Structure formats: structure tokens, C-alpha cells
Amino acid sequence: SLSRTVTDCHGASFGLPGFNVPTLPTLSDHLDSSSLPSAGRAARAALQGRHPSHPSRTPAGMPYQSIGPIAALAIGTVTPLALTLYPREPEALLAGVVLAGALVSMTFNPSGPPPKAYDKAVEQRAIENVVMTSDKNRVVRLGLGSVYLYAASTFAIWMTNTAGASGSKLAARLYARELGAVGELVLTWTGCLVDTYIAGIWMSSGYCGQ
């Protein structure tokens, strides 16, 4: 037979009767990991669906698939607390950072192997109550929401009771129509609004388990 096998760019083979066409290698065949720098090995690993530092593990099997969502959740959770608690309340800020870290870990790196069996009664009760998170996750969310409420209240008290350059508190300076006092009031409202909004998200989702 004069049929010759040709390999297309995806590695699929097909016959062309009557033609003597040489086999075309795939792109990954040209990437020899022993002769490539680290960037080249990473590219070869990506083509083959592997992580460059874990040749035998696919991205789906990695504990952390992407650093982007992890960093976004961590920064978005901790930043409002840092702005409204530091440096007055280091203990509360530390508690918020610990709870945020625990929540990030539960969200992106669930502990333990996947369950092989389910408790039918627990599963049915969760379905009826529309509960989608574990009890531990719910407790962490409620705790983190409580820290946010504490941050909002202490930030409001601190901003309104701190004397300005004139030696007067915020209310007195607002009454005197000081322009700087108006800016401080807007800052106080903004900080409290952000903290209470995020507190509502974490506490409601923790209470409802969603």
C-alpha cells in the first residue's frame, strides 16, 4: 500500500492514499526538557497539562490552582480591616487576619481527602435548608463578620472623639464649618460603610451557610 500516515498539529493521524508524505511531529515533541531553560520547561509542561514543578500532577490536582483569586480574596478581606483598625487595635486586626487566612484556606484548599460516602440524613437536611458550607466555615464567616462590626464601631468612635489641630472634636469642628472636618466626616462614613457592608456579607452567608 502507498498510504502514508500524516500527523496534524493536534497529534491526530490520518491516511493519504497514494502520497508519500513525511510524518509531521507535534510542537511538544520538539521541546526537550533536558535542553531547555526553566521557562521552556514550564511551556512544555503547560502543553502537556502539567505543573512545571510537579511533573506528575495536573492543575486539577494542585492544592492551589491559581494565585490570583487567592490574593484577591486575601487582600480584599484584610485591607479594610487594616485601614480602620491599625494601629489602634492590633489585637482585633490580628484576629481578622487569622480568620481571613482560615477562610482563604477553606475556600481554595479544602482539608482532607474527598468523602467516599455521604450521610443521607445530613445531606437531605442541608438540601432542605439550602446549606452549602461546612459548620467550621460558617463559624469562621460569623467570626470575621463580627471583627468587621467591631472595626466599624471603634473606627467611628475614634474618628469622632479625636481632637483636630484646633483641639476640638469632630462635632465641634463641623459646627464651626471647618473644611477639614467635612473631609474627616466623609472618611468616617466611608470606612464604617465598607466595614458594615462586608460584615453583613460574611455574617449573613455564615448564618445561612451559603
Residue 162 confidence (pLDDT) above 90: no
Render pLDDT for 41-83 as a digit per residue (tens, 0 to 9): 444 444 444 444 444 443 444 444 567 888 888 898 999 999 9
Q: What is the mean pLDDT of the chain?
A: 74
User: How far, in Å, CA of 158 to CA of 175, rounded?
Assistant: 18
Q: For the whole model, what pTM was predicted? A: 0.61
Task: With H, G, I as helix, E, B as strand and everything else as coil, classify residue 13.
Answer: strand
The answer to whether residues 44 and 61 touch, using CB atoms and an 8 Å cutoff, is: no
Distance separating the N- and C-terminal Cα atoms of the chain: 64
Residue 131 confidence (pLDDT) above 90: no
